[in-house]
Structure 1
Amino acid sequence: MKSILIKGATLVNEGRVFVADVYIENGFIAEIGTEINKKADQEINAEGLHLFPGMIDDQVHFREPGLTHKADIFSESMAAVAGGITSFMEMPNTVPNTLTQELLADKYQIAAEMSLANYSFFMGASNDNLDEVLRTDPANVCGIKVFMGSSTGNMLVDNATVLENIFSKAPILVATHCEDEMTIQRNLAVYKEKYGDQLTISMHPLIRSAEACYLSSSMAVELAKKHNTRLHILHISTAAEVGLFDAVTPLAEKRITAEACVHHLWFDDQDYAEKGNLIKWNPAVKTSADRDAVLQGVLDNHIDIIATDHAPHTLEEKLQPYIQAPSGGPLVQHALSALLEMYHQGKITLEKIAEKTAHNVAVCFQIDRRGYIREGYWADLVLVNLNDPVKVTKANILYKCGWSPFEGQTFQSEITHTIISGNLAYMKGKFLTNKTGQRMAFNR
């Protein structure tokens, strides 16, 4: 493994922005200092560039196995690396659903052979696989995923007894998708009665309403408090939900945490007119007031993590009529760029971006030696030029699905280098290694 010396970078780490050199050896950060003169196999002149801990995305859908016409672990991990994401945690609603330990092991094997980024995979829960869920190893699996709202296959967990069992017995973090299915179905029936087949994307946040989100999230919080569950609620999308979470307790001591996603921080319901089904997500993009409240929740620490919920579909699938079009979209290549754009807009600091995309993910999931620029930690690093604009076009989109909801957007910042577990994997538009990322480990 080659040694790397990064010279003169502006580090963004642990609440500070400062200039330093970083020396990487055998996959790890060996030294951080003001003037390191060691000889290295590779030297990167980083003057004028900002060095971030690599983004750890705690929620992606890379579609392998079973849905690889949309995406696969190789293609999407490449897009992630180009976007400054050095590690990901992938969801179990593939085909077949990841509902047994054997199927979970199969995904780890694919990633070991194909993933350019570091990786972990969630074990999936259903109404009838509690025994398999309880076999999950806390030391090498990121968590258990519970869909308390619609999902593919057999993954909607709506049995009250099963939920009680999962929340009371789960050996590790339980991550939930929270939308109340009964509320959604009731809203859908009302809109179908009124509009028949003429439902449009503008109705999506009214059908998958703020009420549906709050009802489900508040129930999850109540269950977690009852059983002292380590609960992590994904993709908060409403102002009402923000208040469910504690902003005072230190993160390492929190039993209940929350995540916001880039699309809920960027888009609002006025964007449906232009973007249509390309921004159809579950939970739905809602009002500008909801968007602004979720961002404020991130800034004031009610919400702990920023992620993507990267969930690609083919353009043909997304261009179907609203009711047939699947929910989800590709984001990993442009998530950090969008957050840096929000920095340029004065909405978030560089320090807060590092905290919410790397530091806090490492703390929340108890990840072993990742998420910080620290001596002795894995070298998962991203260099960024904050003042080199890049326009998102068909030609530079790396997702297998070939489209992005950000197409046409010019971002003011360029991700120039990405280092994965000590390997320089990406530099100025080119991939430099065929080495795969590492399986993440957890200090539990």
Structure 2
Amino acid sequence: MSNVVSVKRFKQFPQLMWILLFGSFITRGSYYMVWPFLAVILYEKFALSATNVGLILSSAAVISVFVSFVGSALSDRIGRHQLMYASGVLYIISFSLLAQVDSITGYALVITLCSIATALWRPLTSALIGDIIDDKTTRELAMQSLYFVVNVGCAVGPMLGLWMGLTGEQSSFYITAGAFAFLLALLWCGFHQHNKLANENELTANQELTKLTADNREIDSVDIQCQAKVKAKSAEGNQIINVLVADKLLQCLIFANILCMFIYAQMDSSLIQYLTRAEVPDLLQLISSMIFTNALVIISTQFLLLKLMANLSLVSRIQIGLVLLMCSQIWLAVNPLTLFWGWIGAIVVMSLAETILFPTMNVHIDRLAPDHLRGAYFGAASFYEFGYAIAPLGGGIILDQLGGPWLFFITAALTLIVMYLYSTLDKMPRPDFTNVLAVQKRLSE
């Protein structure tokens, strides 16, 4: 019975959602074919220390976090479509440049552009799903599906790159640029078709409204116009900030997830630097295998875990994921450098944690966000990326000063702090969104 329901839910996806899923697969696959090896390229080309590599990656990511918040909030006012086109073009330009630069300064600038494009794209995609799918259950399935296909791309990309001999090759960044050019063409078609269908539905609704009685027609027309204005007019900038400042639960959640992202991001940056500098055997094969394992575990367990945890609250699911994340960090700390399958085993545990945590975080924000502030809330959630942003620098400093084992013991301890913060969420005050929407309605009149 549950399988039938799932099939019905999938059939409710609009065409634009399927385009997003396919586009996410090809772009993530090409992205992870080349991006994880950037730290290796910087080390081998310029012999930079772990701290210096971390500084380049962290500086770019910090800038992108601020851009992401502003861009996502603006998307409530000027539309998702335009900003998605802009971030897609920025992807194409930045990855094309990344295939050509040959100086440390050039890498720093272009990596910043890449990070900005990525930070804009992710929350816009999540907010767009909320715009095009009204049913809550179907929307959550769509977010889970998006996360699933992203990881299918992550699984295929590194292994395909290794098979094609592209890992560590600078020219392979052109592949990612080409993938985003193709996605933009698909999105243009999808947006055009979606808008056409929306206009047809609106016309049908208007025709039905004309059948109302003469006494009710004028009143209903005024109400409908007011509702349209409220929906079309997004909250003013100051009002958005006031709401976010008043929402203490959101702030606690953001801080907890900043720490969570800092912990998880060590796999993408510091772990690779640790293995590179330790000169472990078969380095490129090990890196590709870890990325492949990470994605494969997510692909094979995501919907199974979703079904097993269906009766648990979102916070309970996240706490289970955090326990697994802490165990993976301890494993990474104690694993011998030359034990290939030990590294893979630790990644399996970390991947199970990620499978539970990451899609649940998006669903959590979607449930917390009022409809008229969805873009602003997903933009605020992009501050999670601060953890990801400072991870290369923080991890690099710890690597240079204390070494790899201490880095992962520290991240294991940080997981305990995240678990405590999640346990306090229910006690955090939230603003009165009814009053906020009433103010917007008065403004629109």
TM-score range, shorter chain: under 0.3
Counting strand residues as a fraction of each chain, which structure ranks higher?
1
The structure with the greater share of residues assigned to helix is 2
Larger Rg, first or second structure (1 or 2): 2
* TM-score normalised by the chain length of structure 2: 0.25
Higher relative contact order (CA 8 A, sep 6+): 2
